[in-house]
């Protein structure tokens, strides 16, 4: 009888999920991104200069509907030749931040701005997932200290 009572109680013992958002700045006080160059500048100013030519990293800029920056999310850090990017983590973060759009970015420590086939596949995967969630990928940038490659500017988004 005690076992049955314990299992019934456990059915009602669940964690409460709460989503809240407390921005530190008003939207008009944040950078607004309308071009790939603006995105590059925001990212470069927020990238660890000691890492951009050392290890590959993936970051995502979270934007509101008016394209004001809500924040930058550090998705992952890998090695010299790659890093992992889990779409579930990126979109969970974007949804929690109440983002309407995202800009993906990763660096190539080699300095090569040409996208790999994996870069192209990942971008397509994110674009399709974003359509389902009504949370759009505005761009995907490949970053180096000396410049960037924009999937959006090149017609790949």
The two three-digit tokens of residue 2, written as one number: 């005690």
Does the structure show a pLDDT above 70 at 100?
yes
Does the structure show a pLDDT above 70 at 33?
yes
Q: How far apart are the first and last CA of the chain?
A: 61
Angle formed by the axes of helices 87-96 and 117-133, nearest 10°: 40
By the 8 A CB rule, do 37 and 139 touch? no
Residue identified by tokens 């674009």 is 127
Residue identified by tokens 């970051």 is 59
pLDDT of residue 24: 76
48-62 pLDDT per residue, tens: 988 889 999 999 999
Mean of the per-residue pLDDT values for the chain?
88
Does the structure show a pLDDT above 90 at 128?
yes
The reported pTM is 0.83
């Amino acid at each position: 009888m005690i076992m049955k009572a314990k299992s019934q109680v456990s059915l009602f013992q669940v964690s409460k999920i709460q989503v809240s958002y407390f921005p530190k700045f008003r939207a008009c006080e944040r950078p607004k991104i309308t071009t790939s160059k603006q995105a590059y500048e925001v990212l470069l100013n927020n990238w660890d200069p000691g890492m951009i030519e050392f290890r590959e990293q993936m970051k995502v800029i979270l934007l509101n509907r008016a394209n004001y920056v809500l924040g930058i999310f550090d998705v992952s850090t890998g090695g010299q030749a790659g890093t992992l990017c889990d779409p579930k983590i990126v979109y969970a973060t974007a949804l929690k931040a109440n983002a309407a759009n995202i800009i993906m970015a990763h660096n190539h420590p080699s300095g090569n701005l040409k996208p790999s086939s994996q870069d192209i596949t990942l971008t397509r995967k994110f674009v399709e997932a974003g359509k389902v969630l009504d949370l759009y990928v505005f761009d995907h940038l490949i970053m180096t200290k000396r410049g960037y490659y924009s999937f959006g500017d090149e017609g790949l988004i």
